[in-house]
Amino acid sequence: MSSKAVESRGKRDSMAIQRKIQFLEGKAVEMRQHLLTMIYEAKSGHPGGSLSIADILTVAGWELLQSIL
């Protein structure tokens, strides 16, 4: 494989990773919105822990779904 082909593949891989990161960041924002809505409607709860772990749960959950589908 030529160095240009390797470089081109590296750029494609990098772009795919960036798209995945943006997608997962959006999903984490959605999760935070749902968490705040649930906490507000319940009139109870402490949002700190839930909001801080949203990124981790989003990535772990997405990776788990991808592995079983």
Write the pLDDT tens digit of every residue in 22-54: 999 999 999 999 999 999 999 998 899 999 999
**Three-state DSSP class for residue 1:** coil
Question: 34-41 long-range contacts, Cβ below 8 Å, gap at least 24?
Answer: none
**Three-state DSSP class for residue 13:** helix
pLDDT at 6: 58
pLDDT at 55: 93
Query: Looking at the whole model, is its pTM more than 0.85?
Result: no
Q: Within 13 Å of residue 8, how many CA atoms lie on the same side as its CB? A: 5
User: What's at 56, amino acid-wise?
Assistant: I
